[in-house]
Amino acid sequence: MTTEQSGIPADLNVIEAALGRMVYRAGNLEAVVRYTGGRLVTTDKQREALDGVPAGALVREAMELARKAAADGRISGAAQSDLVKLLDEIDSHLKCRNAYIHGMWVSRANGQPFVMLSQKKRKVQTQPLAPEELGKLSDSLLVLSNNVFDWVNRVFDAEN
């Protein structure tokens, strides 16, 4: 089947650019979470254990490291609470990212450009695939990256 037969627009540059930007920002966010986890560990072995951990598991690992750091008195309970709130928000945004990345994109029979099919609990769901929605997610990922990095600077600069 050709692009013309499928109804998919021949020029996908706008959607592909929005998707690429979102993936790039999600990667930056993952790197910031990995860096944050690295600041919370107490040994090189723990730091090395963070390498290669997928983003979702990395968020959970960072939460656990924050809990341990607070229990050991290396960060305050308030700092732990602030980070956990950020990490919860990151987790939900990364799930949105995963839905876009792992979803199947199709055109609708009525000619609307794209929907993304995803399957949850054995039910197929659709949602619009629009550059604007990808842009909103991309912007949120950037804000979260900045907020986590600000948290690291605030918490760890306070001890120096």
pTM reported for the whole predicted model: 0.81
Distance CA 117, CA 126 (A): 5
Tens place of pLDDT for every residue, the chain, 160 residues?
444 544 555 556 787 888 899 999 999 999 999 999 999 999 999 999 999 899 989 999 999 999 999 999 999 999 999 999 999 999 999 988 988 887 766 665 565 556 566 666 666 666 666 788 889 999 999 999 999 999 999 999 865 5
For the four alpha carbons of 49, 55, 58 and 60, in that order, the dihedral sign comes to: negative
Provide Rg for the chain, Cα atoms: 19
Contacts of residue 89, defined as CB under 8 A and 6 or more positions apart, other chains included, come to 144
